[in-house]
Amino acid sequence: KDNIFQLEKRFRQNKDEKLKIVIKNQKKDLKSCIERDKKKFFDSKIKNFGNSAKIVWDLIKLQVKKQSNQNSNIKIDYNGKTIADPIEISNTFNKFFVSVVDHLVLPKIDKDNKKCNFYDLVKNRFKFSSVSEKELVKLINSFENKLSTGHDDISINIIKQILPTIIKPLTNLINSSLISGNFPDKLKIAKVIPIFKKGEVNDPSCYRPISLLPVFSKVYEKVVYTQLVSYLVECELFDKEQHGFQAGKSTITAGIEFINSIIDSVDKGEKIVGIFLDLSRAFDSVSHEELLKTLSTLGIHGKELNWFESYLKNR
């Protein structure tokens, strides 16, 4: 760990890309060592106390940092009422999560503002390309193997197993979506699971919703994502200061650049001011109308823009 710290310190000074790869590999090795040693520790404890169910369960609770009864016989306190019925609890969570989004303050859109002609900002035009069966097979196989499913109970593992049988109709369906500029409504249906964060177990605000969409939805998304990012990179439309959602960049590179900027300013005798923003429910706070206008400024029009509008509708 100390060695990684020293390497990162050197990287901040000279920004050697080879050193960056070494740091990444060492972090990966460190993580593997920690996981291996933790497994050995718990395996040893369970082996030594194998006849004591209580001790084994205490070890399991220590590992996952949860109480064994956290999800059993759960009750929710909402609007001064204690709810115990599972169906009523589900409806309460749904009502709460929806109400939180409804109360978000979205930016007001000036529909009469005609100062900016969106069609003149970018000369390039983004156009969908038909995806081939070979490309789709490669894309689907790039997904991490998981057993999680959406409302259709189909996992990525199942799709990979039956891929030779479904690849032709699936390719046709995706290309039809791109040509028509429509995203299937059925693929927008999410299975929402409340995940406990911290605080009071009975308080709905102490849970965050995890939306599990159908895997086929993610396949459609990945096809469009790949084409869109390729266009944005090729046309140099990404802000150079953006580190999120870009290949080769991360919170680490953002932190390194930020620290280097501070060091440079200190060396020059300049004063430094930092402004940090943390948006609550950041993705929910994005106005779909404003997002579509932004896409338009980037050269996305016609059926391509219609596709994104269809994708966002009723979310």
- 174 with 276, same domain: the answer is yes
In eight-state DSSP terms, residue 114 is -
137 lies in the same domain as 256 = yes
> Does residue 220 sit in the same domain as residue 275?
yes
The reported pLDDT for the residue numbered 12 is 74
Here the tokens at position 124 are: 């390039």
SS3 at position 210: strand
Residue 29: inside a domain, yes or no? yes
Place of tokens 């000279």: 14
Q: Supply φ then ψ for residue 247, to 5 degrees.
A: -65, 135
Are residues 40 and 156 both part of a single domain? Answer: no
Separation CA 298–CA 315 (nearest Å): 23
> What is the model's pLDDT at position 10?
76
List the structure tokens of 42: 């718990």
- Give the span between the Cα atoms of 116 and 198, in whole angstroms: 45
Q: Do 59 and 117 belong together in one domain? A: no
The answer on 43 and 121 residing in a single domain is no
* Residue 51: per-residue pLDDT: 57
Q: Are residues 226 and 308 in the same domain?
A: yes
Does residue 93 form part of some domain?
Answer: no
| CA 184 – CA 311 distance, rounded (Å) | 8
57 and 113 inside one domain:
no
The reply to whether 221 and 303 lie within a common domain is: yes
Q: What is the pLDDT of residue 281?
A: 74
The neighbouring-strand residues paired with 76 are: 83
**114 and 41 inside one domain:** no
Q: Would residue 84 count as lying in a domain? A: no
**CA angle centred on 63, ends 57 and 67, rounded to 5°:** 60
Q: Are residues 120 and 175 in the same domain?
A: yes
Which residue is it, tokens 């084409």?
227
Q: Residue 300 and residue 304: Cα distance in Å, rounded? A: 6
> How much is the pTM?
0.69
Ranges of residues in the chain whose predicted pLDDT is under 70: 45-47, 49-73, 102-121
Tell me which amino acid residue 71 is.
N
* CA of residue 77 relative to chain centroid, distance: 30
Residues in the chain, overall count: 315
pLDDT digits (tens, 9 = 90+) for 66-87: 444 445 567 889 888 999 888 9
| Arithmetic mean of pLDDT over the chain | 85
Nearest Cα neighbor of 272 from 282, 263, 285 is 263
Domain that holds residue 14: 1-68
State how beta strands 207-212 and 191-196 pair. Answer: antiparallel
